Amino acid sequence: KGAVGKEVYKCVMVFCQQLGCEVVELNVQVDHVHLLVKVPPKLAISELMGVLKGRTAIRLFNVFPYMRKKPFWGNHFWAKGYCVDTVGLNSEMIQKYVKFQEKEELHQQQLQFEQAGGPSLKGR
């Protein structure tokens, strides 16, 4: 959220560029990140993820020192794992998923809330 989310976005963009990767789509959400990136064949995905997660965490803790006091995953910014998949012919579909995932999640939450009998927030 806010400045932290913007810094995560900036870090991912900069570190990907430094590694020779092309960010096709990036969506930073409150508790996770969706990323569609073109990675050169000489770069291991594990190396890319290590750089992104490690250097981004270091940068965030330096820029926002108050975050060191938050109880993240064992005092780390990122969780241990990540999910990776390759994209072939469906790259446009994956790009749309990454771009609109947060909007879709909010829509699904609203539908569940309305089905549970809560007031609708539409039109606000």
Q: Which residues are catalytic?
A: 97
Q: What is the DSSP track for the chain?
A: -HHHHHHHHHHHHHHHHHTT-EEEEEEE-SS-EEEEEE--TTS-HHHHHHHHHHHHHHHHHHH-GGGGGS--BTTBSS-S-------STTHHHHHHHHHHHHHHHHHHHHHHHHHTTPPP-TT-
